[in-house]
């Protein structure tokens, strides 16, 4: 049997991409907010139904810059969760802020809003929640808490492209949201990302941050870095946007097949289907809790058959070596997140995954046939 990887990047036809980048060969304009960059930014503003989108060379720098734009006092505490990709916690720490880890909810893996207020101190300045696997956080409750205590909110929405809550885009919550357009995400620009934000003044601020603070040819107004998306990335995004709804429909069929095979099996728990949420079917997490095999055993069984699953998210970010000396670190502070991290496996999921392969994967897990 040929190998099945955990993900496979969505790509347009070779000819479609070549046609898209032909102009770049003619113009020799390869980066620095050229025509493709402008076109993709506009496309996304329309798609999200919001006014302000800033493109970035990757999602991580987008998140780092969004947090920097809040202009928070150094050493301020930021409430976040450890059940996420390294990027979320690193973006907080690289801004000179202190991550304070809140536990997650057992059924959708997002921040447990009932536990946020207990963590708030005089030093708390912001909340950085994660829409884990595309599951939307309790945005209304987070909003209430943020208003009550005067906190800023930046969402890590890396997993939540094309997700809607009560008909509104996932890009419209908090002060800002970061999306990743990495090759492995539902929508990709090879590498890439964006910040969606509410405050019009951030247009200039974020632009300065991603382009050395250069305004015009003779004026440098800000100590910025370089995090620009180039024209080839933007061209890939333009092509992939054309096929987005098709791709999501195919993912949906894969997810439905998984659910039909795994739902109700003793010891196997699936993510809840959230109410009022239009999903992007980004991931298919399965929790092995009291199943005849442990998560690690299932992982090994799949690997032996050439099937790649991923222990995503394991380990928790609050157990990373680089945070060992942080007083706020330690998995014992977030027991539900730790429980999940030890038991969860995300199964292969991408638009072109064939349903017969989904069946093979389920056969291995369930030991059928």
Ligand X SMILES: *Cc1c(COP(=O)(O)O)cnc(C)c1O
Interface residues toward ligand X, by CB under 6 A = 58-60, 84-85, 87-88, 130, 156, 158-159, 180, 182, 193
Q: How far is the CB of 194 from ligand X (least distance, A)?
A: 10
Nearest distance in Å: CB 221, ligand X: 26
Q: For residue 109, what is the DSSP state?
A: -
Is residue 277 within 8 A of residue 164, CB to CB? The reply is: yes
CB of 224 to ligand X, least distance (A): 18
Q: What is d(CA 207, CA 204) in angstroms, rounded to the nearest whole number? A: 5
Question: Where would I find the H helices in the chain?
Answer: 14-27, 35-48, 59-69, 86-93, 139-149, 202-210, 231-242, 244-262, 295-304, 335-341, 355-366
CB 57, min distance to ligand X, A? 9
In the complex with ligand X, the residue whose CB is nearer, 137 or 268, is 137
Q: Terminus-to-terminus CA distance in the chain, angstroms?
A: 15
180 vs 346 by CB, closer to ligand X? 180
Both tokens of 107, joined, read 């059924």
The string of DSSP codes covering 280-291 is: -----EEEESS-
Three-state DSSP at 293 gives coil
**Closest distance to ligand X from the beta carbon of 261 (Å):** 26
> Is the Cβ of residue 344 or residue 365 nearer to ligand X in the bound state?
344
Of 334 and 362, CB closest to ligand X = 334
Of 104 and 365, the one with the shorter C-beta distance to ligand X is 104
Smallest separation (angstroms) from ligand X to the CB of 88:
5
Whichever of 128 and 268 has its CB closer to ligand X, that residue is 128
> What is the nearest approach in angstroms of ligand X to the Cβ of residue 181?
6
SS3 state of residue 159: coil
Nearer to ligand X, 59 or 348 (CB): 59
Cis peptide before 315 (omega within 30 of 0): yes
CA distance readout (Å), 47 to 112, 194, 245, 281: 29, 13, 12, 18
Helix (H, G, I), strand (E, B) or coil at 39: helix
Give the CB-nearest residue to ligand X: 59
């Amino acid at each position: 049997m040929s190998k099945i990887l955990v993900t496979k990047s969505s790509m347009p036809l070779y000819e479609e991409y070549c046609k898209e980048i032909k102009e770049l060969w003619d113009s020799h304009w390869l980066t620095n907010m050229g025509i493709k960059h402008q076109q993709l930014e506009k496309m996304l503003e329309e798609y999200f139904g919001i006014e302000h989108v800033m493109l970035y060379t990757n999602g991580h720098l987008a998140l780092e810059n969004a947090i920097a734009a809040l202009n928070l006092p150094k050493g301020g505490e930021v409430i976040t969760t450890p059940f996420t990709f390294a990027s979320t916690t690193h973006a907080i720490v690289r801004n000179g802020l202190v991550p304070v880890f809140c536990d997650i909810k057992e059924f959708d893996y997002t921040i447990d809003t009932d536990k946020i207020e207990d963590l708030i101190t005089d030093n708390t300045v912001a909340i950085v929640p994660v829409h884990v696997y595309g599951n939307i956080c309790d945005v209304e409750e987070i909003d209430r808490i943020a208003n009550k205590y005067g906190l800023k909110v930046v969402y890590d929405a890396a997993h939540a492209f094309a997700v809607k809550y009560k008909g509104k885009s996932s890009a419209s919550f908090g002060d800002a949201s970061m999306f990743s357009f990495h090759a492995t995400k539902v929508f990709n620009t090879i590498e890439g990302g964006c910040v969606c934000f509410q405050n019009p003044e951030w247009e200039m601020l974020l632009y300065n941050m991603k382009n050395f603070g250069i305004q015009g040819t003779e004026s440098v107004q800000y100590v910025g870095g370089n995090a620009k998306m180039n024209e080839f990335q933007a061209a890939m995004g333009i092509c992939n946007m054309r096929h987005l709804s098709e791709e999501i429909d195919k993912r949906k069929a894969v997810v439905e097949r998984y659910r039909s095979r795994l739902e109700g099996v003793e010891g196997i728990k699936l993510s809840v289907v959230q109410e009022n949420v239009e999903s992007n079917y980004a991931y298919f997490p399965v929790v092995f809790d009291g199943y005849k095999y442990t998560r690690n055993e299932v992982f090994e069984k799949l690997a032996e058959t050439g099937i790649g699953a991923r222990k995503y998210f394991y380990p928790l970010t609050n157990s990373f070596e680089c945070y060992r000396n942080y007083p706020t670190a330690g998995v014992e502070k977030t027991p539900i997140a730790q429980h999940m991290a030890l038991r969860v496996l995300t199964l292969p999921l991408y638009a072109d995954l064939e349903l017969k392969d989904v069946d093979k994967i389920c056969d291995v897990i369930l030991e059928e046939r």
